A = this chain, B = another copy of it.
């Protein structure tokens, strides 16, 4: 029996992701690929983040959604530019879709490009879109076992947000255990425990984002 690993076949997507990367670097944009399960609170987090920082930065948003434009509508008033990609049932964005969306955005006017991926813990992790980093959002009601069950995403993510921390007292989410497990899976990830709803911890996440914008705008990091 011959066994083929699809990882090798993802190469074509990665080449296209690199093309996106080159284009985004040229414009000095910080690009984040936000990934989580459905309903983990990505959109609420982006709403509060963009609302707070929109006078400082011009945000572009590429919103991946299975069918609806509901999330995009929530973010529209805070974004300089927003493009919705309806994946028509597909469970992830790929580099081609993002390239297509980028064509419709005023990249030279933007400081931050947020790609809100389709709600799914599995497939989006395998597709490089040209981002500076992946941001994983895990919400407390999903359970503290998710990093061990879906290690790809948590291994790949530069930053991990544990959201809906306001629900910690009402669930059996094992926060110390989860942090320990994340530390094992991905020792270099920065982890923030937040509640996008109450605002708890969101300040730290925004400071992290500002620091990343600063780094990306400094040309030395591309040398």
Contact B125 A89 (CB under 8 A): yes
Residue of B nearest to A86 (CB): B5
Interface segment out of the listed A93-101, A107-115, A170-178: A93-101
Contact indicator per residue, chain A 27-55, by CB within 8 Å of chain B (1) or not (0): 00000000000000000000000000000
Interface string of A50-92 (1 = CB under 8 A from B): 0000000000000000000100110010000011111111110
- Tell which of B2, B3, B100, B122 touches A91, judged by Cβ atoms closer than 8 Å: B122
Question: How far is it, in angstroms, between the C-alpha of A73 and the C-alpha of B89 when the chains are bound?
Answer: 31
Q: How far is the CA of A83 from the CA of B101 in the complex (A)?
A: 36
- Contacts A96-B12, A97-B9, A100-B9 known; A86 to B123 CB distance under 8 Å? no
On chain B, the residues within 8 Å of A126 by CB distance are 88-90
Cα distance, A88 to B86, chains bound together (Å): 25
Question: Within the assembled complex, what's the spacing in Å between the Cα atoms of A82 and B1?
Answer: 6
Q: Note all chain B residues with C-beta closer than 8 A to A25.
A: none
Looking at the assembled complex, report how far the CB atom of A1 sits from the nearest CB atom of chain B, in whole angstroms: 5
Establish whether residues A5 and B83, one from each chain, have CB atoms under 8 Å apart when the complex forms.
no
CB-CB nearest in chain B for A5: B86
A6 interface residue (CB < 8 Å to B): yes
Q: Are A2 and B84 in contact (CB under 8 A)?
A: yes
Contacts A97-B6, A100-B9; is A89 near B1 (CB within 8 Å)?
A: no
List of B residues within 8 angstroms of A12 by Cβ = 96
A6 near B84 (CB under 8 angstroms)? no
Closest chain-B Cβ to A62's Cβ sits at a distance in Å of: 9
Q: Taking CB as reference atom, which chain B residue is nearest A64? A: B6
Within A1-18, which residues are at the interface with B (CB < 8 Å)?
1-7, 9-10, 12
A190 at the A/B interface (Cβ < 8 Å)? no
Query: Lowest 5 CB-CB distances: which A-B pairs, in order?
Result: A6-B87, A7-B88, A3-B84, A2-B83, A2-B104
Given A1-B72, A3-B83, A9-B96, 17 new contacts (CB under 8 A): A1-B73, A1-B76, A1-B82, A1-B83, A2-B83, A2-B84, A2-B101, A3-B84, A4-B83, A4-B97, A4-B101, A5-B85, A89-B126, A90-B122, A90-B123, A91-B91, A91-B123
